[in-house]
Protein backbone atom coordinates (compact mmCIF):
# COMPACT_ATOMS: atom_id res chain seq x y z
CA UNK A 1 0.00 0.00 0.00
CA UNK A 2 2.75 2.45 0.97
CA UNK A 3 4.79 1.94 -2.27
CA UNK A 4 1.63 2.56 -4.30
CA UNK A 5 0.99 5.79 -2.41
CA UNK A 6 4.58 6.89 -3.02
CA UNK A 7 4.18 6.28 -6.76
CA UNK A 8 0.86 8.15 -6.87
CA UNK A 9 2.37 11.04 -4.91
CA UNK A 10 5.36 11.23 -7.23
CA UNK A 11 3.06 11.30 -10.26
CA UNK A 12 0.95 14.06 -8.72
CA UNK A 13 4.11 16.15 -8.25
CA UNK A 14 5.72 15.37 -11.59
CA UNK A 15 2.66 15.76 -13.80
CA UNK A 16 2.23 19.55 -13.34
CA UNK A 17 6.00 20.03 -13.57
CA UNK A 18 6.02 18.27 -16.93
CA UNK A 19 3.24 20.51 -18.18
CA UNK A 20 5.21 23.56 -17.05
CA UNK A 21 8.22 22.28 -19.00
CA UNK A 22 6.06 22.21 -22.12
CA UNK A 23 5.38 25.93 -21.72
CA UNK A 24 9.01 26.90 -22.28
CA UNK A 25 11.45 26.19 -25.08
CA UNK A 26 15.16 25.65 -25.53
CA UNK A 27 17.42 26.75 -28.36
CA UNK A 28 19.02 23.86 -30.23
CA UNK A 29 21.94 24.75 -32.48
CA UNK A 30 23.44 22.63 -35.23
CA UNK A 31 26.08 23.12 -37.89
CA UNK A 32 25.46 21.57 -41.30
CA UNK A 33 28.36 21.47 -43.73
CA UNK A 34 28.08 20.83 -47.43
CA UNK A 35 30.32 21.21 -50.46
CA UNK A 36 27.68 23.33 -52.20
CA UNK A 37 27.67 25.95 -49.43
CA UNK A 38 29.99 28.75 -50.51
CA UNK A 39 29.07 31.40 -47.94
CA UNK A 40 27.86 30.58 -44.42
CA UNK A 41 24.24 31.40 -43.61
CA UNK A 42 21.89 30.90 -40.70
CA UNK A 43 18.38 29.43 -40.78
CA UNK A 44 15.93 29.44 -37.89
CA UNK A 45 13.57 26.48 -38.13
CA UNK A 46 10.16 26.69 -36.50
CA UNK A 47 8.19 23.47 -36.54
CA UNK A 48 4.93 22.18 -35.07
CA UNK A 49 4.01 25.36 -33.22
CA UNK A 50 0.39 24.15 -33.11
CA UNK A 51 -0.79 27.63 -32.13
CA UNK A 52 1.18 27.51 -28.87
CA UNK A 53 2.00 30.86 -27.21
CA UNK A 54 5.40 31.69 -25.72
CA UNK A 55 5.09 34.94 -23.84
CA UNK A 56 2.68 37.82 -24.34
CA UNK A 57 2.20 38.35 -28.07
CA UNK A 58 4.81 35.61 -28.67
CA UNK A 59 7.52 37.95 -27.46
CA UNK A 60 9.75 35.24 -25.94
CA UNK A 61 9.81 33.35 -29.21
CA UNK A 62 10.11 36.41 -31.42
CA UNK A 63 12.78 38.01 -29.23
CA UNK A 64 14.94 34.90 -29.44
CA UNK A 65 14.66 34.83 -33.22
CA UNK A 66 15.51 38.53 -33.50
CA UNK A 67 18.65 38.02 -31.43
CA UNK A 68 19.77 35.24 -33.76
CA UNK A 69 19.62 37.57 -36.80
CA UNK A 70 18.91 34.71 -39.21
CA UNK A 71 19.16 34.97 -42.97
CA UNK A 72 15.99 32.88 -43.29
CA UNK A 73 13.15 31.62 -41.12
CA UNK A 74 11.51 28.39 -42.26
CA UNK A 75 8.30 26.89 -40.91
CA UNK A 76 8.19 23.15 -41.50
CA UNK A 77 4.49 22.56 -41.04
CA UNK A 78 1.79 22.41 -38.37
CA UNK A 79 1.85 26.10 -37.62
CA UNK A 80 -1.83 25.69 -36.78
CA UNK A 81 -3.75 23.24 -34.61
CA UNK A 82 -6.65 21.38 -36.19
CA UNK A 83 -8.25 20.97 -32.76
CA UNK A 84 -8.42 24.78 -32.41
CA UNK A 85 -9.15 25.65 -36.01
CA UNK A 86 -11.44 28.58 -35.16
CA UNK A 87 -8.98 30.15 -32.73
CA UNK A 88 -5.40 30.15 -34.02
CA UNK A 89 -4.50 33.73 -33.18
CA UNK A 90 -1.24 32.72 -31.47
CA UNK A 91 0.01 31.42 -34.82
CA UNK A 92 -0.99 34.60 -36.63
CA UNK A 93 0.61 36.76 -33.94
CA UNK A 94 3.85 34.85 -34.43
CA UNK A 95 3.72 35.26 -38.21
CA UNK A 96 3.00 38.96 -37.96
CA UNK A 97 6.09 39.45 -35.82
CA UNK A 98 8.53 37.10 -37.53
CA UNK A 99 8.01 38.46 -41.05
CA UNK A 100 9.73 41.67 -39.95
CA UNK A 101 12.85 39.74 -38.85
CA UNK A 102 13.84 37.85 -42.01
CA UNK A 103 12.27 36.29 -45.11
CA UNK A 104 9.89 33.53 -43.98
CA UNK A 105 9.15 30.34 -45.95
CA UNK A 106 6.44 27.82 -45.13
CA UNK A 107 5.74 24.19 -46.10
CA UNK A 108 2.45 22.72 -44.95
CA UNK A 109 1.94 19.95 -42.40
CA UNK A 110 -0.77 17.43 -41.73
CA UNK A 111 -2.74 19.80 -39.50
CA UNK A 112 -3.11 22.38 -42.25
CA UNK A 113 -4.35 19.62 -44.57
CA UNK A 114 -6.77 18.24 -41.95
CA UNK A 115 -8.32 21.69 -41.52
CA UNK A 116 -9.48 21.63 -45.15
CA UNK A 117 -11.23 24.89 -46.12
CA UNK A 118 -10.16 26.58 -42.88
CA UNK A 119 -6.58 25.49 -43.49
CA UNK A 120 -6.67 26.92 -47.00
CA UNK A 121 -8.02 30.19 -45.65
CA UNK A 122 -5.35 30.36 -42.96
CA UNK A 123 -2.57 29.61 -45.44
CA UNK A 124 -3.84 32.37 -47.70
CA UNK A 125 -3.88 34.72 -44.72
CA UNK A 126 -0.23 34.08 -43.83
CA UNK A 127 0.64 34.51 -47.51
CA UNK A 128 -0.98 37.95 -47.38
CA UNK A 129 1.06 38.67 -44.23
CA UNK A 130 4.29 38.16 -46.16
CA UNK A 131 5.09 34.44 -45.77
CA UNK A 132 6.37 32.67 -48.87
CA UNK A 133 4.23 29.53 -49.10
CA UNK A 134 5.92 26.72 -51.04
CA UNK A 135 3.71 23.88 -52.24
CA UNK A 136 5.80 21.74 -54.52
CA UNK A 137 7.53 24.95 -55.51
CA UNK A 138 10.99 26.42 -55.08
CA UNK A 139 12.55 29.78 -54.42
CA UNK A 140 15.92 30.57 -56.00
CA UNK A 141 17.78 32.31 -53.19
CA UNK A 142 21.32 33.69 -53.16
CA UNK A 143 22.72 30.83 -51.05
CA UNK A 144 20.50 27.89 -51.97
CA UNK A 145 17.51 26.60 -53.84
CA UNK A 146 14.75 26.37 -51.24
CA UNK A 147 12.10 23.77 -52.04
CA UNK A 148 8.84 23.29 -50.16
CA UNK A 149 6.94 20.01 -50.52
CA UNK A 150 3.38 18.98 -49.81
CA UNK A 151 3.06 15.96 -47.54
CA UNK A 152 3.09 13.16 -50.07
CA UNK A 153 4.78 14.75 -53.04
CA UNK A 154 5.94 12.18 -55.59
CA UNK A 155 9.68 11.64 -56.05
CA UNK A 156 9.45 12.98 -59.60
CA UNK A 157 7.98 16.22 -58.25
CA UNK A 158 11.04 16.80 -56.10
CA UNK A 159 13.61 15.62 -58.63
CA UNK A 160 12.19 17.99 -61.25
CA UNK A 161 12.98 20.96 -58.99
CA UNK A 162 16.53 20.05 -57.99
CA UNK A 163 19.46 22.13 -59.20
CA UNK A 164 22.65 20.04 -59.51
CA UNK A 165 24.86 23.10 -59.12
CA UNK A 166 23.30 24.61 -55.99
CA UNK A 167 22.48 23.53 -52.45
CA UNK A 168 18.98 22.04 -52.56
CA UNK A 169 17.40 22.76 -49.19
CA UNK A 170 14.06 20.96 -48.88
CA UNK A 171 11.25 21.73 -46.43
CA UNK A 172 9.21 18.55 -45.94
CA UNK A 173 7.05 18.00 -42.87
CA UNK A 174 7.30 14.19 -42.60
CA UNK A 175 10.77 12.84 -41.73
CA UNK A 176 9.83 9.19 -42.33
CA UNK A 177 9.93 9.93 -46.07
CA UNK A 178 13.60 10.95 -45.91
CA UNK A 179 14.93 7.88 -47.80
CA UNK A 180 12.69 8.85 -50.71
CA UNK A 181 13.93 12.45 -50.66
CA UNK A 182 17.53 11.26 -50.47
CA UNK A 183 16.97 8.96 -53.41
CA UNK A 184 16.03 11.89 -55.63
CA UNK A 185 19.31 13.69 -54.93
CA UNK A 186 18.13 16.23 -52.34
CA UNK A 187 21.01 17.73 -50.37
CA UNK A 188 19.47 18.78 -47.03
CA UNK A 189 15.93 18.13 -45.77
CA UNK A 190 14.33 19.94 -42.82
CA UNK A 191 11.39 18.20 -41.15
CA UNK A 192 9.28 18.13 -38.00
CA UNK A 193 6.11 16.13 -37.27
CA UNK A 194 7.66 13.55 -34.91
CA UNK A 195 7.47 15.81 -31.81
CA UNK A 196 10.75 14.29 -30.66
CA UNK A 197 9.05 10.96 -30.09
CA UNK A 198 6.84 12.62 -27.40
CA UNK A 199 8.59 10.77 -24.54
CA UNK A 200 12.39 10.66 -24.79
CA UNK A 201 14.50 8.27 -22.75
CA UNK A 202 18.29 8.20 -23.15
CA UNK A 203 17.91 10.32 -26.29
CA UNK A 204 15.45 7.90 -27.93
CA UNK A 205 11.87 8.84 -28.78
CA UNK A 206 9.06 6.47 -27.82
CA UNK A 207 6.42 7.11 -30.50
CA UNK A 208 5.96 9.30 -33.56
CA UNK A 209 3.05 9.62 -35.99
CA UNK A 210 3.82 7.90 -39.27
CA UNK A 211 6.62 5.87 -37.65
CA UNK A 212 5.00 4.12 -34.70
CA UNK A 213 6.89 2.98 -31.61
CA UNK A 214 10.65 3.57 -31.33
CA UNK A 215 10.74 5.73 -34.46
CA UNK A 216 13.93 6.17 -36.43
CA UNK A 217 13.73 9.90 -37.13
CA UNK A 218 12.77 12.05 -34.14
CA UNK A 219 15.37 14.75 -33.49
CA UNK A 220 18.62 16.12 -34.84
CA UNK A 221 20.82 15.10 -37.75
CA UNK A 222 20.59 11.94 -39.87
CA UNK A 223 22.30 10.95 -43.09
CA UNK A 224 21.29 8.69 -45.95
CA UNK A 225 23.60 8.27 -48.93
CA UNK A 226 24.72 11.85 -49.70
CA UNK A 227 21.71 13.57 -48.13
CA UNK A 228 21.28 15.10 -44.67
CA UNK A 229 18.07 15.26 -42.66
CA UNK A 230 17.48 17.59 -39.73
CA UNK A 231 14.41 16.88 -37.61
CA UNK A 232 13.05 19.47 -35.20
CA UNK A 233 11.41 18.26 -31.99
CA UNK A 234 9.01 21.15 -32.50
CA UNK A 235 7.43 23.68 -30.19
CA UNK A 236 3.88 22.50 -29.61
CA UNK A 237 1.77 19.58 -28.55
CA UNK A 238 -1.68 18.33 -29.55
CA UNK A 239 -2.38 15.43 -27.20
CA UNK A 240 -3.36 15.55 -23.50
CA UNK A 241 -0.08 13.95 -22.42
CA UNK A 242 2.93 16.18 -21.75
CA UNK A 243 6.25 15.81 -23.50
CA UNK A 244 8.61 13.93 -21.17
CA UNK A 245 12.36 14.72 -21.21
CA UNK A 246 11.50 16.47 -24.46
CA UNK A 247 11.38 20.23 -23.93
CA UNK A 248 10.01 22.17 -26.93
CA UNK A 249 12.77 23.56 -29.11
CA UNK A 250 13.59 26.33 -31.54
CA UNK A 251 16.27 25.31 -34.04
CA UNK A 252 19.15 27.49 -35.19
CA UNK A 253 20.97 25.92 -38.10
CA UNK A 254 24.26 27.23 -39.42
CA UNK A 255 25.11 26.14 -42.96
CA UNK A 256 28.83 26.23 -43.66
CA UNK A 257 31.27 25.17 -46.38
CA UNK A 258 32.53 21.62 -46.09
CA UNK A 259 35.98 22.69 -44.92
CA UNK A 260 34.45 24.31 -41.82
CA UNK A 261 33.08 20.97 -40.65
CA UNK A 262 29.76 20.10 -39.06
CA UNK A 263 28.20 18.16 -36.26
- CA 172 vs CA 10, 158, 168, 181: distances in Å: 40, 10, 12, 9
pLDDT of residue 10: 40
Half-sphere exposure of 219 (CA within 13 A, CB side): 26
Residue 35 and residue 84: Cα distance in Å, rounded? 43
pLDDT at 11 over 60: no
Residue 196 and residue 176: Cα distance in Å, rounded? 13
Longest dimension (CA), the chain: 68
b/e 6-27 (16+ beta carbons within 10 angstroms → b): eeeeeeeeeeeebeebbeebee
pLDDT digits (tens, 9 = 90+) for 176-223: 999 999 999 999 999 999 999 999 998 899 999 999 999 999 999 999
Q: For a pLDDT cut of 90, what percent of the chain falls above it?
A: 81
Bridge partners, 252 (sequence order): 29, 44
Helix 89-98 to helix 59-68 angle (10° resolution) is 20
Contact 83, 114 (CB under 8 A): no
pLDDT of residue 5: 40
Residue 170 and residue 148: Cα distance in Å, rounded? 6
Bridge partners, 212 (sequence order): 208
pLDDT of residue 8: 45
pLDDT digits (tens, 9 = 90+) for 56-83: 999 999 999 999 999 999 999 999 999 8
The better pLDDT of the pair 86, 205 is held by: 205
Residue 14 and residue 199: Cα distance in Å, rounded? 14
pLDDT at 15 over 60: no
pLDDT of residue 4: 44
Amino acid sequence: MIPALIVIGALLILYPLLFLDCRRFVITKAKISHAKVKTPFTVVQVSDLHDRAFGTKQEKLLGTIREAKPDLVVITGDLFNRHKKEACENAFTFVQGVTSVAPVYFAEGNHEIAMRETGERYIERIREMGVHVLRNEYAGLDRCRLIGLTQYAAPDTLSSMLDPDRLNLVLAHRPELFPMYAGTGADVVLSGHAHGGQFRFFGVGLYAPGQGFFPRYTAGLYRWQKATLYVSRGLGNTIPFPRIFNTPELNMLQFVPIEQGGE
